[in-house]
Amino acid sequence: MRHIAALIALVLFLGACGDKDASVASVTPSLIARAEAADSPAGNFVQVQYQEGREYTVLAEPVKTVSGDKIEVTEFFSYGCIHCFHFETAVHAWEKNTMPAGVEFVQTPAVFNKAWEHYARTFYAAKALGVWDKAHPVVFDTIHVKRKRLGTVDEMAELFTTFGVKEDDFKKAYSSFGVTSQVQAGDARARAAGLRGTPELMVDGRYKITTGSAGGHEQMFQVANFLIDKIKRERK
């Protein structure tokens, strides 16, 4: 019962925070079901049968994936989002420990405003310049730990010199046709998925998982794994 009490308390907290995807009415049954599973002799969340309309939603129209035959899990995020910064811990844990075989994880920057378009261009420029692995955690850390917003192209270009990229080369990549096309394509995918906030997950271009519907960051990947297993069984 201690699990149930703790998770009900989480529901009330989410409601107080005003998360539009985490209403008490929609999240409570999900959390109680998971708490009951944890209190069962097995105590294994994998046994929980997640339900459409509760822990995840089915998109009205599938969104085209970019991962070929692999099952694609897309995270919609932004460097400007503090929740996405914290979500990175769950991302790394999932990729290292429980990401199923035959799955490709894709991060797609959300473009809700000009500031976030700037961060999206930075993401794709880092990919184009071959320094994304180095730059990705540093950009997040600089913005949310060091409290430097990196809100201009000049500031971002200066940061990228620490990765061995000349400022002019960063600016050229940032404004290039290729990066512009990727920003537009990513924004189109987010709109097609009905993106309302970040971070959100999209599985196989068909299913969407939010923090509120799943009950937390780690739980989002538990639901993703459930859907991946479902897709694999359908493909047999």
DSSP symbol at 52? B
- Write down the pLDDT at residue 9: 43
**Is 47 contained in some domain?**
no
Residues of the chain with pLDDT under 70: 1-47
pLDDT number for residue 49? 86
In sequence order, the 6+-apart residues with CB closer than 8 A to the CB of 39 are 1, 3, 4
Per-residue confidence (pLDDT) for residue 128, from 0 to 100:
98
pLDDT for residue 16:
33
CA distance 85 to 103: 23
Tally the domains of the chain: 1
* 34 lies in some domain: no
73 lies in some domain = yes
Does residue 1 belong to any structural domain of this protein?
no
What pLDDT, on the 0 to 100 scale, is given for residue 19? 39
Whether 197 maps to a domain, the answer reads: yes
Question: What tokens does 134 get?
Answer: 């180095």
Full domain range(s) for residue 188: 62-235
Task: Tell me, yes or no, whether 108 lies in a domain.
Answer: yes
Phi, psi (degrees; rounded to nearest 5) at 46? -60, -25
Q: What angle do CA 88, 92, 95 make, to 5 degrees?
A: 135
Question: Which phi and psi angles does 130 have, rounded to 5°?
Answer: 75, 25
Answer whether residue 131 is part of any domain.
Answer: yes
> Is pTM beyond 0.85 here?
no
Residue 229's CATH number: 3.40.30.10
pLDDT at residue 35, rounded to an integer: 43
> Is residue 93 within 8 Å of residue 218, measured between CB atoms?
yes
Domain presence at residue 25: no
